[in-house]
Amino acid sequence: MTSFPTSIGTSDASTIRLLGQDLAADLMGHVGFGELAFWLVAQRRPTPSEVRVFEAVLVALADHGFTPTAIAARLTYLSAPESLQGALAAGLLGGGSRFLGVTEDCGRFLADTLAAVDGPLPTDDAGFDDLARDAVSVARSARRLVPGLGHPVHKTEDPRTPVLIRIAEEEKLRGPHLRLFEAIGRVHPEVLGRTLPLNGAGVCGAALADLGLPVDLLRGFALLARAAGLLGHLAEERRTPIGMDVYLTVDRNATYTTPDPS
């Protein structure tokens, strides 16, 4: 018979074990929710410093007002108010390449750049600047965007970026991913010919990568953070709904055009 291995959780008649701990005796009341989320993915308990940086990332990513995902969740709640899980899921399904993907893309770009270094990593800013200059040049030659650069609203500086770097520094967790990201901020104008801000989604990816979290799953933390923001939107939709007005605004301003055969 096939067996199904897991190191997450088990339970029997009197005990629930999670991550090798007794859930009721050792975790409830002793472990924060962000701390547990880190632990569940990394399979190790984070230090208090790691928790502070990690929760600062989740807080930074939780909400951005009326994003397409928040609007989609509210419209779904309007149509199917009996299924809160459906509205939340609809909102999370927008957590793809364009609106939530930057965190993961940036973490991966930094990790790939660092992994390609032959020999030891740089120890000073000049060394990270050289690395950044090469990485941005290569991306430019390949006509690829550098993830984490630029923002449609925060055109000069994204206020989250310096704050997260400072928190990581305070907690001695400003590692090579963040340092390379900062170096990209310094050197990209000379390569690209214009100055762009380091955005908040990107700095979050750099910080998560410095925490040792798997780069392939960074989008997952953005989704977890956004789940809290979406709950806030759904709670507000319940109190002061906008979904019907969104629908009517679109429907009443629809203009019919002749079909255009593909």
CA distance 38 to 29: 17
Q: Residue type for 146, please?
A: V
Instruction: Report the residue count for the chain.
Output: 262
Beta-bridge mates of residue 18: 9, 21
Contact string 204-243 vs a copy of itself (x = CB under 8 A)? --------xxx-xx-xxx-xxx-xxx-xxxxxx-xxx-xx
**Residues within window 137-156 making contact with a copy of itself, judged by CB under 8 A:** 153-156
- In whole angstroms, how close is the CB of 142 to a copy of itself at the nearest point? 16
Counting contacts by CB under 8 A, is residue 82 touching a copy of itself?
yes
Specify the stretch interacting with a copy of itself by CB under 8 A; choose among 48-56, 110-118, 141-149, 173-181: 48-56
Specify the stretch interacting with a copy of itself by CB under 8 A; choose among 110-118, 122-130, 134-142, 251-259: 251-259
CA distance 156 to 240: 34
- In whole angstroms, how close is the CB of 126 to a copy of itself at the nearest point? 29
The DSSP result for 87-143, as a single string, is HHHHHHHT-STTTTTHHHHHHHHHHHHHHT-SSSPP-SHHHHHHHHHHHHHHHHHTT
The DSSP result for 9-24, as a single string, is EEE-SS-EEETTEEII
Counting contacts by CB under 8 A, is residue 20 touching a copy of itself?
yes
Counting contacts by CB under 8 A, is residue 195 touching a copy of itself?
no
Specify the stretch interacting with a copy of itself by CB under 8 A; choose among 56-64, 107-115, 124-132, 174-182: 56-64
* Residue 18 DSSP one-character state: E
Q: Which is nearer to a copy of itself, 123 or 172 (CB)?
A: 172
